[in-house]
Amino acid sequence: MAKELAEAQEKISSLAEELAKAQEKMGADKMMGDSSRKVTEKMKKNM
């Protein structure tokens, strides 16, 4: 049981790191402003 719990906690921490990186990237995109907005619009059109 303890082993499974430890593995689950490792997965959660790695997911949290990925989320933090994604949020940092989003923050950087917001700072870029207009250019990132254009990219977002292109992505929406492609979907």
Per-residue pLDDT of the chain (47 residues; tens, 9 = 90+): 899 999 999 999 999 999 999 988 888 767 667 676 777 788 788 87
Extended beta strands in the chain, E state: none
Q: What is the pLDDT of residue 36?
A: 66
Q: What is the pLDDT of residue 5?
A: 94
Q: Kindly state the tokens that stand for 10.
A: 């490792």
* Rounded Cα gap, residues 14 and 25, in angstroms: 17
Q: What is the pLDDT of residue 46?
A: 82
Q: What is the pLDDT of residue 34?
A: 66
pTM above 0.75, yes or no: no
